[in-house]
Amino acid sequence: MSDYQDSRQQRENRRRTIVRVVCVVIAVAMLGSLVIPAIYAGL
């Protein structure tokens, strides 16, 4: 029973990590879409 809970916990942790990574990637992409045109405008 504990093995089942451990595997479920690992899967939950992995899913949470993936969600966090996706959020970071989206945030970086949004920042990039704001920063890159500003750099081009500066150049």
Chain segment 1-43, per-residue pLDDT in tens: 688 889 999 999 999 999 999 999 999 999 999 998 888 898 7
Determine whether 42 is exposed, middle or buried from the number of CB atoms within 10 Å of its CB (0-12, 13-18, 19+).
Answer: exposed
Determine, yes or no, domain membership for 26.
Answer: yes
Q: Is 8 part of a structural domain of the chain?
A: no
Q: What is the pLDDT of residue 1?
A: 62
pLDDT confidence of residue 43: 79
Which DSSP string do the residues of 5-41 spell out, in sequence order?
HHHHHHHHHHHHHHHHHHHHHHHHHHHHHHHHHHHHH
Domain boundaries, position 18: 14-41
Number of domains in the chain: 1
Q: Is residue 23 part of a domain?
A: yes
Does residue 33 sit within a domain?
Answer: yes
Tell whether 4 is covered by a domain: no
32 domain-assigned: yes
